[in-house]
Amino acid sequence: MLRLRNEVWKAKDVPSESDRNGQTVMTGGDAAIADAAARLERIDRELQALIGERLAAAANIRGNPGAADVLFAEPFNEALRALVERCEDGASLTALEPIWRALAAAGAGCLAIHCEETEESAALLESAHYHFGFSISVEPAGDAPDVIRAAAEDARAIGLIRLDERAELPWWRSLGAPAPEIVARLPFFVAEERPADLPLVVVAKSAAAAEARDIATYDARWRGTLPGRLMDGGLEVLAFHRTAEGVDALIAARGDLSAGDVARLCAEAGAEPDTLRRVGAYAAPIDIDEATDETWDEKES
């Protein structure tokens, strides 16, 4: 195989045309290809050096005990938002996002990912590899409570849980400091027919203050039937589970609202909860189809 590779490499160096004296003649097309190849080689060298510099810089902030503080902290979210501003189409964003996230995962050091074992395990594994690269260990951990338990036992681990509207278990009851919390919602870039589009939340133990994040999540419980007017107050039901006593729900609200504000909004919607606990926060996902359309309109105007 090595000999074959050498022969192929040598074959590339054979001149395609020669003049009458046997000297190499470079056509206009050959010159353009050679120039592009040299430019790509220069860019690749610069990229490799910059990646090494980035990983070295990331190693200096590993003092934080939680991997989530490297992967989902606000500076990284800002980097992704800046990526949206620089790109003009969603396809470029979904191609670049896994590169950015794989670099962040590599910078987080020894990281383990725990995910559910479900009928959609293949799609969940695809999402894990898309968002965190192939160099990170992905371990099946049973159901959602098992994922939370695995994340609780290792500060450098994160858990991936499917975000199903009708949940089989009220797994979010196990969340909330000092236990793992919701630290991210994936996909961060939302678009039609995008790769790895399985709705997920990321759970992890985080030392970083989550108050500054866009969206806060709450474990809310009601006795009886849950009215369907929560959306009127700007609240979102991410998942719910019916019990013999009533309804458990994982709800989301603006991050700048206090728990008292959220309780008041629920009451105004006719659904004052019996229990309301904050169980995490995350950066608001971006609709990249809409974002890139707006960027294009601004350029046209």
- Is residue 185 classed as helix, strand or coil in its secondary structure? strand
- Residue 3 pLDDT: 45
Question: pLDDT grade, residue 25 (50/70/90)?
Answer: low
Q: What is the pLDDT of residue 293?
A: 54
Higher pLDDT, 105 or 169: 169
Q: What is the pTM of this model?
A: 0.77
pLDDT at position 121, please? 81
H/E stretch holding 182 = strand 181-186
**Per-residue confidence (pLDDT) for residue 66, from 0 to 100:** 57
The pLDDT value recorded for residue 196 is 87
Which pLDDT does position 144 carry in this prediction? Answer: 94
Helix, coil or strand: residue 232: helix
Residue 143 has pLDDT above 50, yes or no: yes
Q: Considering Cα of 134, then 139, then 142, then 143, what sign does the dihedral take?
A: negative
- Residue 55 in this model has a pLDDT that exceeds 50: yes
Q: How far is CA 283 from the centre of its chain?
A: 10
Q: Where are the domains of the chain?
A: 51-214+283-300
**Residue among 292, 289, 290, 280 nearest 72 (CA):** 280
Question: Does residue 49 have a pLDDT over 70?
Answer: yes
Q: Are 220 and 82 in contact (CB under 8 A)?
A: no
Distances (CA, A) of 119 to 14, 64, 171, 179, 180: 54, 35, 18, 27, 25
Q: What is the mean pLDDT of residues 38-57?
A: 86
Contact 204, 157 (CB under 8 A): yes
Beta partners for residue 157, in sequence order:
112
Q: What is the pLDDT of residue 67?
A: 63
At residue 234 the predicted structure's pLDDT band, cuts being 50, 70 and 90, is confident
Altogether, the residues listed in the chain come to a count of: 301
Confidence of residue 90 (pLDDT cuts 50, 70, 90): low
- 297 burial (CB, 10 Å; 0-12 / 13-18 / 19+) is exposed
Residues whose CB is less than 8 angstroms from the CB of residue 87 and which lie 6 or more positions away in sequence, other chains included? 93, 96, 292
d(CA 253, CA 240): 15
Structure tokens at 93: 């964003």
* Gap between the Cα atoms of 208 and 70, Å rounded: 9
